[in-house]
Structure 1
Amino acid sequence: MNKKKKMMKIETPRIPSELPVTMRQDIQSNDFLEMEMIQDCEIENSKANKVIFDKIIFRNVTFTETAFTSAELTDVIFEKCDLSNVDFSDAVIHRTEFKDCKMIGINLSGTTLRNILFDNCLADYAAFRFANTKQVIIQDSFLSKADFSYCKLQKFEFSRCTIDQVQFSGTELNGIDLSDCSFNGLGVFVENLKGCIISREQAYIFANLFGLIINE
């Protein structure tokens, strides 16, 4: 039986208890959004660059054909949102939570992530390529075939996640604990596995991946 992990502490979003509620449907490049709760709406066909989101809650919002490239997000919560295929590439995201969100194919490539929580999210095929991360927790989430190639993972925690066929090529996994995650295979370079924490059962999976034969 695996020893229960001690959860890492991260900074949570600093958001006032009461925010004005809006149903915003259009976001433009260089917009500065702050102190809003945006809920029960659809934001579609917004191709906005360098938007700033500060102290914002998105609740039950569907994003369709949307891109927020090079955005800045600070103290933001996404709750029960559909962020599938949203393009956040090259964004800087700090003290932000994604809770109960659908995020299939979300693009977080090249992002800077600090103090981020992904909780109970469906994020299959999510792209994190070249992301620079620190103080990030992903828990109780599905990440099958997600791409974490060439990422810098500092104080990064997976907990009880499905990570089948996740791509970790070029990403150092030293200190990364995968022992309570489920997978049948991963894309990873042997040299990047040094210091990765796995369970006894997972050791057999890695042995098969690299063509090793275990003599019982």
Structure 2
Amino acid sequence: METRTLRQLSVMLPGAEPDELDLADELPRDGANLIEVLIRGEAWARAQLGGVAVSRSWFVDADLTSSQFDRVTLDRCLLKGCTLAGSQWTGVTFKNVVLENCRLDYATFTGLRATGPVALIGCSVVQTEFTRCKLNVLVFDECRLTSTRFEACDMRGADLRGNDLSTVGEIMSLRGAIVADVQLPALTEALVNDLSLIVR
């Protein structure tokens, strides 16, 4: 079984390569179970999906702009070069998911549960909001976290090394996360900004 290892996190990959999978060129019905499919292009742009489960699948250069995902489950999925800008994810579950070189700017994640390893690699996460999310087995690596907000999230064990945290909002939600010593000045800056402290 092929895996992707990032620091202490090992993520199980879909298995088959994208060119070996059937193309999912239509939106699935609510409650559908998709296994070993390829999602690409604009087929799912501005989609509204409810209760859909996607497993052992690839999203390659997929445009998910402004899409709405409600109670969706992704298991052993790899998203590469995808655009998720302005998308809304509510009550979703991620397990063994890799997002690589994706744009998540202005997206909102509410009640996301990472029940298995999740890795965001080289992603843009500008002004993205995570609210009441469980992110214990998540790794951000070389991501752009400008004005990213984590509100009432469980981040214990989340690995945030290798990222600029100076503008992250709701900094107290990072309690229990893993950081590197070189990030401490940036965390101090974020704390000062978050608490509107006056430094004299």
TM-score per shorter chain, which class? 0.7 to 0.9
Tell me if the contact between 2:21 and 2:36 (Cα under 8 Å) persists in the aligned partners.
Answer: no
1:76 maps to 2:34: no
1:85-124 matched pairs, under 5 angstroms: 85-124=66-105
Tell me if the contact between 2:126 and 2:148 (Cα under 8 Å) persists in the aligned partners.
Answer: yes
CA RMSD in angstroms comes to 2.5
Identify the residue that residue 160 of structure 1 maps to in structure 2: 142
So what's the TM-score if we normalise by structure 1?
0.77
1:202 maps to 2:186: yes
Gaps of 5+ in 2: 1-5
Percent identical residues = 19
So what's the TM-score if we normalise by structure 2?
0.83
Identify the residue that residue 162 of structure 2 maps to in structure 1: 180
Identify the residue that residue 67 of structure 1 maps to in structure 2: 48
Cα offset, 1:189, TM superposition = 5.8
Residues 19 and 6 of structure 1: is their aligned pair in 2 closer, same or farther, counting only changes over 3 Å?
Answer: closer
Higher helix share: 2
Q: Residue 138 of structure 2 aligns to which amino acid in structure 1?
A: F
Q: Following superposition, which runs of at least 4 residues in structure 1 exceed 3 angstroms of deviation?
A: 16-24, 59-62, 211-215
In structure 1, what is the Cα distance between the partners aligned to 2:196 and 2:19?
57
Cα offset, 1:162, TM superposition = 0.9
Pairs aligned (count)? 190
In structure 1, what is the Cα distance between the partners aligned to 2:83 and 2:174?
29
Gaps of 5+ in 1: 30-48
* 1:24-49, Cα deviation, whole Å (9 max, x unpaired): 3x3352xxxxxxxxxxxxxxxxxxx1
Cα offset, 1:104, TM superposition = 0.3
Identify the residue that residue 27 of structure 1 maps to in structure 2: 27
- Tell me the SS of whatever aligns to 2:12: coil
